[in-house]
C-alpha cells in the first residue's frame, strides 16, 4: 500500500508554451505529484538542433524554429512548445506567424491566421468565410486586442522597415529576412479584402501604426521584393508577425 501511495500521479511544467531568444538559456521547471513520489524527471527535446535540454530542465536555444520539450516522470508526461526567436537590426522577432489569438503557427511555412485591425477574431487563410465584419474600422489597435502571445506585440511600422532594410530573398513561397543565423521567414499567404474575399496576389503584414483614421501602414511581400505600404484599409484581413516587448 505504501508503494501505491508513492506512485507518480501527474507532472506539470511551469510553462506549456514559451519563446526564447537565439543563444539564450531558460530553466523549465517540473512539479511531480505527489511530492512523496520519485521526483526524477527525464527531459527530451523533439529537435536538439533547435532547442537542447539537460537533465535539470535547462533549455538552450541553438537555432531559429520550434521544438517540443517533453518531461517524463514515471508513466506521466507533460510538454512545452518552445519557439526560438532572433534579433534583426536590434528588434527581436517571433519565428512564426500568429495563429489563433495568443498562439503561434506550427512551422515557418504555416500561414497562421488573418486578423482585421483591432479585432481579436482569427480568420482562415484559405477558402470562404462566414460572419466577416466588413464595417469600417477606425482608431488605434488596443493592447487587449493584440493577438500576439504574452510578452510580445504587433510591430510598429519603423520595425517593419528595419526588417526590410536587413535584406531578404525569395524562397519557398515567402521571403527570408536577415543574415544567418538571425533570420526569419515570412510566408506569402495572400490576404482578405474588406469584404472577406480572398486574394493571393501578395502577402501583407500588419504594423500597429496608423496612416489615417481608417488606414494603416503595413509590409507587403511577393516574389519581387518587400514593400512598405501605407494607406491599407483596416478592414482588410492580414498576417501578423510579433516582436518582443
Tens digit of pLDDT for each residue in 83-120?
999 999 999 999 999 999 999 999 999 999 999 999 99
Note the pLDDT of residue 98. Answer: 98
Note the pLDDT of residue 172. Answer: 85
Q: What b/e readout covers 50-88, taking b as 16+ CB neighbours within 10 angstroms? A: bbbbeeebebbbbbbbbbebbbbbbebebebbbbbbbeb
Domains of the chain and any CATH numbers: 2-86 (2.60.40.1080), 89-244 (no CATH)
Task: Tell me the three cell numbers of residue 23.
Answer: 543563444
Note the pLDDT of residue 6. Answer: 78
**List of the chain residues with pLDDT < 50:** 1-3
Cell numbers 515567402 correspond to what residue? 174
CA angle 221, 225, 229 (to 5 degrees): 55
Give the span between the Cα atoms of 16 and 14, in whole angstroms.
7
Note the pLDDT of residue 152. Answer: 97
Q: Which helix (H) or strand (E) holds 187?
A: strand 182-187
Q: Which helix (H) or strand (E) holds 81?
A: strand 76-88
| Its pTM surpasses 0.85 | yes
Amino acid at each position: 500500500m505504501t508503494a501505491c501511495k508513492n506512485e507518480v500521479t501527474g507532472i506539470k511544467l511551469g510553462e506549456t508554451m514559451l519563446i526564447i531568444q537565439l543563444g539564450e538559456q531558460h530553466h523549465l521547471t517540473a512539479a511531480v505529484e505527489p511530492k512523496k513520489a520519485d521526483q526524477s524527471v527525464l527531459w527530451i527535446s523533439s529537435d536538439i538542433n533547435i532547442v537542447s535540454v539537460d537533465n535539470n530542465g535547462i533549455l538552450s536555444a541553438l537555432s531559429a524554429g520550434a521544438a517540443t520539450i517533453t518531461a517524463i516522470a514515471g508513466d506521466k508526461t507533460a510538454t512545452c512548445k518552445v519557439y526560438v526567436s532572433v534579433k534583426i537590426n536590434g528588434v527581436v522577432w517571433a519565428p512564426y506567424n500568429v495563429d489563433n489569438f495568443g498562439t503561434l503557427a506550427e512551422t515557418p511555412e504555416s500561414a497562421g491566421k488573418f486578423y482585421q485591425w483591432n479585432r481579436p477574431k482569427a480568420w482562415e487563410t484559405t477558402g470562404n468565410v462566414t460572419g466577416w465584419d466588413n464595417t469600417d474600422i477606425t482608431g488605434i489597435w488596443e493592447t487587449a486586442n493584440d493577438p500576439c502571445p504574452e510578452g510580445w506585440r504587433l510591430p510598429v511600422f519603423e520595425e517593419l522597415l528595419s526588417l526590410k532594410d536587413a535584406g531578404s530573398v525569395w524562397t519557398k513561397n515567402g521571403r527570408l529576412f536577415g543574415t544567418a543565423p538571425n533570420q526569419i521567414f515570412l510566408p506569402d499567404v495572400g490576404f482578405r479584402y474588406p469584404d472577406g474575399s480572398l486574394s493571393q496576389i501578395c502577402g501583407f503584414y500588419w504594423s500597429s501604426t496608423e496612416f489615417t483614421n481608417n488606414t494603416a501602414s503595413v509590409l507587403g511581400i511577393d516574389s519581387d521584393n518587400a514593400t512598405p505600404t501605407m494607406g491599407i484599409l483596416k478592414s482588410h484581413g492580414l498576417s501578423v508577425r510579433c516582436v518582443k516587448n
